[in-house]
Structure 1
Amino acid sequence: MTVKALGGKDFDCFIGDKMVHVIEASVKITDGRKVKKVRGIPKGFIDGPVDAEVTIKLDHENFLLVQEQASSAGSWKGIEPFDISFLAEVDAGKKNVEAFGVLPQLDDVLSFKAEGGEEDVTTIKGPVTSSDFIKINGTPYLTEDEVRDL
């Protein structure tokens, strides 16, 4: 029996509660844990800082949905951090990645070829600013101990 595998067309992307269609998206986590060594030999690990960044590429129509938020805020830098979720479910399973407190930063504001044939694409990157950080299928990336009292 063939089961449909999870692919890019299966994902819905929400910025806050507004659905946005993306051309491309990524959520990258940098986990700063390091190996502890004694005389050059691994002996456990040490916790380090964590970072995460969301990158989305939008066509003009969906860029305008984010533009509405900038207009309401009075500027692009005035947009408050927002949550972004990527949801997909097929017979093979589901994947739900949530990023909390994403601070939007325009990356590629304009990208086109004068000869035509390709649509304008805008890239927005955003570091994750919330201690809620990232959840994958409802499971937090960070431990309860790491976020206590934050």
Structure 2
Amino acid sequence: IEVSSKVLQVLTAKARAAGSWRGIEPLDFLFYAKAGSEEVKVETFGNKLQLSNLLDIDPKGGSVSTHKIKYFVTSPKFVNINGVPYLEAEATENLIG
């Protein structure tokens, strides 16, 4: 995911409350991709953040600084695209959850 410095501050507060970045409970994400009149809704569940290259700030030509944060989907609910599971339940039943 790509977040602004302001959102990074919110995540930092969550990490502080959890005692560490790794202590943050898994999060669910909701994304919308839109091109013209077409829209795709993607939901990912139980996302565990993994910090890497946090100091690699990408200002994109003078606009707001952004930070890229990797994550792993760990919930058996896994990923839904337009409300439909990406994988069948049997394929995700042994995820960490």
TM-score range relative to shorter protein: 0.7 to 0.9
Length, aligned pairs only:
93
* Identity %, equivalent residues: 37
Identify the match of residue 54 of structure 2 among 109, 118, 121.
Answer: 109
| Higher percent of residues as strand | 1
TM-score relative to the length of structure 1? 0.52
Partner of residue 95, structure 1: 40
Q: Does structure 2 conserve the Cα–Cα contact (< 8 Å) formed by 1:84 and 1:100? A: yes
More helix by share: 2
CA 1:85–1:124: 2 relative to 1, 3 Å: same
Gaps of 5+ in 1: 1-55
CA RMSD after TM alignment: 2.8
User: Match of 2:25?
Assistant: 80
User: What residue identity is the alignment partner of 1:69?
Assistant: K
- Give the structure 2 partner of residue 67 of structure 1: 12
Residue 128 of structure 1 is aligned with which of 73, 85, 96? 73
Shift in CA distance, 121/144, structure 1 to aligned 2, threshold 3 Å: closer
More relative contact order in 1 or in 2 (CA 8 Å, sep 6+)? Answer: 2
Aligned pair 1:143/2:88, yes or no?
yes
Which runs of no fewer than 5 residues in structure 2 stay unpaired?
none
C-alpha contact (below 8 Å) 1:83/1:98 kept by paired residues: yes
